[in-house]
Chain A
Amino acid sequence: MALNIVTYIFIGVGLFFNFVGAFGLHRFPDMYTRLHAATKCTTFGSLFLILAVIVQAAGIWASEGTSQSVMCIHSVLALVALVVTNATGAHAIARAAHRSGEKPARAVVDDLEGKEND
């Protein structure tokens, strides 16, 4: 069944990127590179995992009637909420960390030093 193959590919891609993000939290030296690794990779991986659920629920919805319609539509809502809020939250974390005086590892010069960009 072609739908199951697509679902397995989505699950594989999603789990791979989630593991990359989780290990990137431990392999990078400072907070900004950890934010770079973790937020982008886990957003992409979770997007593909929820897409796998959407594909599977939509397949059951198309073949057996409306038993999985709620699952499919609410997964789309969860996907939209996750994608919109993760990027915004990462931006807020990076801005707050720079304001609190967190420096990148082995940084030589900070171009935003002393500037108040509100």
Chain B
Amino acid sequence: MIDWFPSIIAMVVCIVITVARIIIGPGAPTRLVAFDTTNTLVVATMVIAGMMFNHAIFIDVAIVYALLSFTMTLYVAKYIGGSKF
């Protein structure tokens, strides 16, 4: 059996680094880039957590989170670009 816990700790460190860029980043586009990166890392962390706790519901939630974060990214990009829908 693989011990998945250290990789989850490393992923949480990555997430903290990207969240720091959300807080300090100048301007809306930089913050949107950092938020998209954070969403990707959270999806990977949730899949690993599903394998560690042996619950498949974590991975189902990760799929829905990935699709919803993609929708959020598209809409905020539309808002920043100022184009019509």
Which A residues are CB-close (under 8 A) to B14?
18-19, 21-22
Q: In the assembly, what is the distance between CA of A42 and CA of B73, in Å?
A: 16
Q: In the assembly, what is the distance between CA of A94 and CA of B50, in Å?
A: 33
Distance in angstroms from A50 CB to nearest chain B CB is: 5
Q: Is the CB of B59 within 8 A of A71?
A: yes
Which A residues are CB-close (under 8 A) to B77?
89, 92-93, 95-96
Chain A: residues with Cβ within 8 Å of the partner, total of 49
Q: Is the CB of A100 within 8 A of B66?
A: no
Size bracket, chain B contacts: 35 or more
A43, A57, A82: residue with the most chain B Cβ atoms closer than 10 Å: A82
Q: In the assembly, what is the distance between CA of A96 and CA of B67, in Å?
A: 20
Q: Is the CB of B44 within 8 A of A86?
A: no
Given A75-B59, A81-B67, A96-B77, also A22-B37 (CB < 8 A): yes
B interface with A by C-beta (< 8 Å)? 2, 7, 10-11, 14, 17-18, 20-21, 27-30, 32-34, 36-37, 40-41, 43-44, 47-48, 50-51, 54, 56, 59-60, 62-63, 66-67, 69-70, 73-74, 77-83
The list of the 6 closest CB pairs from A to B, nearest first, reads: A96-B81, A85-B70, A46-B44, A97-B29, A96-B77, A99-B81
